[in-house]
């Protein structure tokens, strides 16, 4: 099976209608990518790996090197989904040239297909600069976690009319600049619908209601690996409990000398 392409994702939405919703999940490791790949259209190497993998307090300290290594692992573990890599905080906001250098470095090092960056109208010039030079860009508006120090937290955005209008304007600016899709995070349902209707490219929601053209979740949240999760997460499994139970059984068997048993022990021929 050939890998999906960015134009194929972009064209899932035609004349404002998306017949088949777009499915995206985060992936940070090769094995995780292998397990998710066949079920997804897009795998996002999100800078949420800062919290999820590295135990950092936010995505702000995440480095380009971290993104490079995890993106390469996800590309090696997948062959179907389009792999999108987040540009981490501080690696692209300075200028379109800075963004291009970081994006090119990430795509060359990993073999990923596209990048994602946070921000609306202020980033439109950068989005156009990248797209015109061969780098597909996914936008990200609404709650933008890299701006946590400006926003003051991770609560939903666009509850006032003025902020809602700004978010619609941000999404339109990214759409006009050539973004192939836009992540819409942490907004009330009417705004999820308004943004989705305002742009020609697909919207991919996270905490943005069912009115978007697709959905994304952080995989570790969705499978119950990460302990603190926002309200918009649905837990499909409780993998943390499975791992903790396995560790408890193993520890007990080591301490009672019942592991390793005959099946796990080499003998001379």
Please tell me whether residue 47 binds Na ion under the rule CB under 5 A. Answer: yes
Q: Is-contact 111 70, C-beta < 8 A?
A: no
Please count the residues of this chain forming the interface with Na ion, following the rule CB under 5 A.
Answer: 3
Other CB atoms within 10 Å distance of the CB of residue 214:
24
Known binding site for 3-methyl-2-oxobutanoate: residues?
47-48, 86, 116
Q: Which of 9, 26, 46, 212 binds Na ion (CB under 5 A)?
A: 46
d(CA 141, CA 165): 12
Could you give the C-alpha distances from 10 to 7, 14, 53, 205, in angstroms and in order? Answer: 5, 9, 30, 15
Nearer Cβ to ligand KIV (106/245): 106
Helix or strand or coil: residue 48? Answer: coil
Binding at 216: pick from ligand KIV, Na ion, none (beta carbon under 5-8 Å per type): ligand KIV
Residue 93 among the catalytic residues: no
Q: Which does 82 bind (CB under 5 to 8 A by kind): Na ion, ligand KIV, none?
A: none
Shortest Å, Cβ 75 to Na ion: 18
Rounding to the nearest 10 degrees, give the CA dihedral for residues 159, 162, 120, 219.
0
Q: Which of 68, 86, 185, 220 touches Na ion by CB under 5 A? A: 86
Comparison of 124 and 216: residue with beta carbon closer to ligand KIV: 216
Buried b (16+ CB within 10 A) or exposed e, 167-196: bbebbbbbbebbbbbbbbbbbbeebbbbbb
Shortest Å, Cβ 59 to Na ion? 6
Which residues bind to ligand KIV, rule: CB under 6 A?
26, 44, 46-48, 86, 183, 206, 216, 218
**Closer residue to Na ion in complex, CB, 37/47:** 47
Closest distance between ligand KIV and the C-beta of residue 132, in Å?
24
The entry of Na ion, ligand KIV, none near residue 114 (CB within 5 to 8 angstroms by kind) is none
CB closer to Na ion, 37 vs 86: 86
The structure tokens listed for 168 are 């619609």
In angstroms, the CA 148 to CA 153 distance is: 5
Options 65, 125, 163, 185, the catalytic residue: 185
Nearest to 206 by CA among 240, 229, 238, 236: 229
**Least Å distance between CB 89 and Na ion?**
9
CB of 121 to ligand KIV, least distance (A): 19
The binder of 218, among ligand KIV, Na ion, none, by C-beta within 5 to 8 A per type, is ligand KIV
How far apart, in whole angstroms, are the C-alpha atoms of residue 109 and residue 106?
Answer: 5
> Distances in Å between the alpha carbon of 72 and those of 20, 85, 246?
29, 10, 30
In what helix (H) or strand (E) does residue 17 lie, and over which residues does it extend?
strand 17-18
- Residues labelled catalytic: 185
Site of interaction with Na ion (CB under 5 A): 46-47, 86
């Amino acid at each position: 099976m050939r890998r999906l392409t960015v134009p194929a994702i972009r064209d899932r939405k035609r004349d404002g209608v998306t017949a088949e919703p777009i499915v995206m999940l985060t992936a940070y490791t090769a094995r995780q990518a292998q397990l998710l790949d066949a079920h997804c259209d897009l795998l996002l190497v999100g800078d949420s790996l800062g919290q999820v993998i590295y135990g950092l307090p936010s995505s702000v300290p995440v480095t380009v090197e971290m993104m490079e290594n995890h993106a390469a692992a996800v590309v090696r573990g997948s062959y179907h989904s389009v792999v999108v890599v987040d540009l981490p905080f501080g690696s692209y906001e300075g200028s379109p040239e800075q963004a291009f250098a970081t994006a090119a470095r990430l795509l060359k090092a990993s073999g990923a297909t596209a990048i994602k960056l946070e921000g609306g109208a202020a980033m439109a010039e950068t989005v156009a600069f990248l797209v015109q030079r061969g780098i597909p860009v996914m936008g990200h508006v609404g709650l933008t976690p890299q701006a946590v120090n400006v926003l003051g937290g991770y609560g939903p955005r666009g509850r006032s009319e003025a902020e809602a209008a700004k978010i619609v304007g941000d999404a339109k600016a990214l759409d006009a600049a050539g973004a192939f899709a836009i992540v819409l995070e942490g907004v009330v349902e009417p705004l999820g619908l308004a943004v989705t209707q305002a742009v020609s490219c697909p919207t991919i929601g996270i905490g943005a209601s069912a009115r978007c053209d697709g959905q994304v979740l952080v995989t570790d949240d969705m499978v119950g690996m990460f302990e603190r999760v926002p309200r918009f997460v649905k837990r499909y499994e409780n993998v943390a409990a499975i791992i903790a139970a396995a560790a408890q059984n193993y520890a007990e068997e080591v301490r009672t000398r019942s592991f390793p048993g005959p099946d796990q022990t080499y003998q001379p021929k």
